Structure 1
């Protein structure tokens, strides 16, 4: 699933494809914003970790699960 993270005072957003469910991502964001965790920690589909300081989060957009299209038909 695609996750977009907006960071304060940064012109570009962080975009990653994650194998985590929407509920797992939402739980991690909730913990970071409630103060239970200092960092928002997410893992992308290649196993890399993305860490963002909780006080720098502007927004987090959780997208639909990625669907791979196969073939040569119209998009």
Structure 2
């Protein structure tokens, strides 16, 4: 699944591809906003992304990007 994270005072959003379900990511975000100091997600390659909750602007959950084969027409 693709997770887009908006960070306050940052020009670009963070995009993380993760194997977690949308329910699991939503719980991580809720827990972080409910008293956690950071939102921590692990991407498909095992890298960890950590964002301080006071800097979160938004979190958008969407389906994983799929590669296209062939020519678009």
- Normalised to the residue count of structure 1, the TM-score between the two structures is 0.86
Question: Quick check: 2:17–2:64 contact (8 Å CA) kept in 1?
Answer: no
| CA RMSD of superposed structures (Å) | 1.5
Take 1:72 and 1:66, find their aligned partners in 2: how far apart are those partners? 16
Give the alignment of 1:1-75 within 5 angstroms: 1-35=1-35, 37-69=36-68, 71-72=69-70, 74=72
Structure 1: gaps spanning 5 or more residues: none
Q: Where has structure 1 moved over 6 Å in runs of 4 or more? A: none
Structure 2: gaps spanning 5 or more residues: none
Question: Quick check: 2:18–2:44 contact (8 Å CA) kept in 1?
Answer: yes
Aligned residue pairs, count: 73
SS in 1 for 2:40: strand
Give deviations 1:20-74, integer Å, cap 9, x for gaps: 1101100010011111x111000000010000001110000000144454x4364
How far is 1:11 from its partner?
Answer: 1.0
